[in-house]
Amino acid sequence: MGWTQLHLVDGEGREVLPSIKAGVESAFGWVVSTYPNLDPAVLAEWAEEIGSAMQKNKNTHATPRRYAYAAMHGRVRDYLKTRASKETPEGSSFELEKWAGVDADAQARIDRNIFFQEVGTKLDQRDQEILALLLQDITSAASVGKALGISESAAAKAIQRLKLRIASFVSSSKMKSGDAGHGFQNLCETKG
């Protein structure tokens, strides 16, 4: 940041006094280096306003440099205090999710994964294996039986028992939360 960015003139377009110019440029440089995240163009505008005001009241400032530092620091402090209340959100959460590429079913998939992870902790080893197969869309009794090394009829019975256990977990948690009465007929429905 160079000092040449500042156009320090009074209200009539005349250059400010050299002592005011030096003080304002020094204060501007300090603020730019101290607050690098603030827009330098905004800081330059404030510095120019301060320089113009100081030139207008040039006889009231004993030390222009100290006054310029105090004025610039005050402007920055006020801006930082009030900036949060002036920020306006852009777009709705739906628009942000669309922009980020989040699809509508993402939350449902996340909730489903969390639910089945919690259910899995309450099952024995064999039921956990069957649940893992069902969650991988290996849902036919023949496929589950082949994966577990058991007959198709034993796999069908094991899948049915697992469904009943999951339904009982869901219904017991619904009873505890006061939201009973919803059916779970389609839970882990098998294909064929």
- Identify the CATH number of the domain in which residue 137 sits: 1.10.10
The range of the structural domain enclosing residue 48 comes to: 3-86
Amino acid at 34: T
Q: What pTM was estimated for this model as a whole? A: 0.42
What total of structural domains would you count in the chain? 2
In a domain, 110, yes or no: yes
Distance between CA 28 and CA 163 in Å, rounded?
Answer: 71
Can you give the pLDDT at residue 186?
Answer: 47
Can you give the pLDDT at residue 2?
Answer: 47
Low-confidence ranges of the chain (pLDDT < 70): 1-5, 61, 84-94, 96-104, 173-192
Can you give the pLDDT at residue 88?
Answer: 55
Residues 73 and 15 occupy one common structural domain: yes
Can you give the pLDDT at residue 178?
Answer: 56
Backbone phi, psi, residue 137, to 5°: 65, 25
Instruction: Enumerate the β-bridge partners of residue 15.
Output: 9
In a domain, 191, yes or no: no
Q: Which two three-digit tokens encode residue 175? A: 């009873």
Residues 77 and 123 occupy one common structural domain: no
DSSP 118-137: HHHTTS-HHHHHHHHHHHTT
Residues 110 and 165 occupy one common structural domain: yes
Residues 7 and 79 occupy one common structural domain: yes
Q: Which two three-digit tokens encode residue 162? A: 């697992």
SS3 11: coil
> What 8-state DSSP symbol labels residue 52?
H
